[in-house]
């Protein structure tokens, strides 16, 4: 069964917690987004971990794989993101630390040219999820993760996560791929009624 991850790509921790609490009935995971972590540090993870949902720390780790996984796990994260474009030793260190600490690693393919090839490689290294991700600036340029997700899903046997401008319509367009985690941010966080927006996405999940 697919799960819904709420990406809190905000910079105000109070607002992030407000949106998270409003959406608890409709989401499975809470993401301390990269802007939020850069704004208030691991306090974002600690505060979200007080709520009754697993927390994803979107650190986008590119170096110091063990250290950053340890920091996020200590703060209460259940999942930590690492850039798939990072050198292999970074991925291996993150996976090793995650295994010791009982957390999971999500490898973010943001910026990777050969997404199917790199996805297969990081899956071999033991990451728990492969994330097909179209970033905010790419979304502004009109890009969508739908086609890339299909290419990666065909190439790799790993749990798949998808992020990047998702809304109910795009979630339905990906419903046949066996996506494990749909990551939705702006459609919910920018809505005047985040809980209703989260419910609409939830109802679109396969």
- Quote the CA–CA distance of 32 and 195 in Å, as a whole number: 18
Cα-only R_g, the chain: 16
Whole-number pLDDT of residue 6: 99
Handedness of CA 185, 190, 194, 198 (dihedral sign): negative
Q: Shortest CA distance to 154 belongs to which of 182, 125, 178? A: 178
Whole-number pLDDT of residue 139: 80
Backbone angles phi, psi at 60, to 5 degrees: 50, 50
Whole-number pLDDT of residue 157: 84
Q: Report all structural domains of the chain as residue ranges with CATH numbers, in order of start.
A: 3-204 (3.20.20.70)
- Report whether 200 contacts 25 (CB < 8 A): no
The residues that bridge with 5 in the sheet, in sequence order, are: 29, 183
Question: Which residues make Cβ contacts (< 8 Å) with residue 40, sequence separation at least 6?
Answer: 13
pLDDT by residue for the chain (206 residues), tens only, comes to 899 999 999 999 999 999 999 999 999 999 999 999 999 999 999 999 999 999 999 999 999 999 999 999 999 999 999 999 999 999 999 999 999 999 999 999 999 999 999 999 999 999 999 999 998 788 888 888 988 999 999 889 889 999 999 999 999 999 999 999 999 999 999 999 999 999 999 999 99
């Amino acid at each position: 069964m697919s799960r819904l991850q709420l990406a809190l790509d905000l910079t105000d921790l109070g607002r992030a917690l407000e949106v998270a609490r409003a959406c608890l009935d409709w989401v499975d995971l809470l993401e301390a987004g990269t802007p939020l972590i850069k704004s208030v540090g691991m306090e974002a993870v600690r505060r979200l971990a007080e709520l009754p949902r697993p927390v994803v720390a979107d650190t986008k780790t590119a170096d110091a794989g063990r250290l950053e996984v340890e920091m996020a796990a200590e703060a209460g994260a259940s999942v930590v993101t690492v850039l798939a474009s990072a050198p292999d030793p970074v991925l291996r260190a993150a996976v090793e630390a995650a295994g010791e600490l009982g957390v999971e690693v999500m490898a973010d393919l943001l910026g990777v040219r050969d997404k199917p090839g790199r996805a297969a490689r990081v899956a071999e290294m033991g990451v728990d999820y492969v994330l097909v991700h179209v970033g905010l600036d790419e979304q502004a340029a009109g890009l969508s993760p739908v086609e890339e997700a299909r290419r990666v899903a065909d190439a790799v046997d790993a749990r798949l996560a998808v992020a990047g401008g998702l809304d109910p319509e795009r979630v339905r367009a990906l419903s046949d791929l066996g996506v494990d985690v749909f990551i939705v941010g702006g459609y919910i966080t920018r809505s005047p009624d985040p809980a209703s927006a989260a419910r609409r996405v939830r109802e679109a999940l396969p």
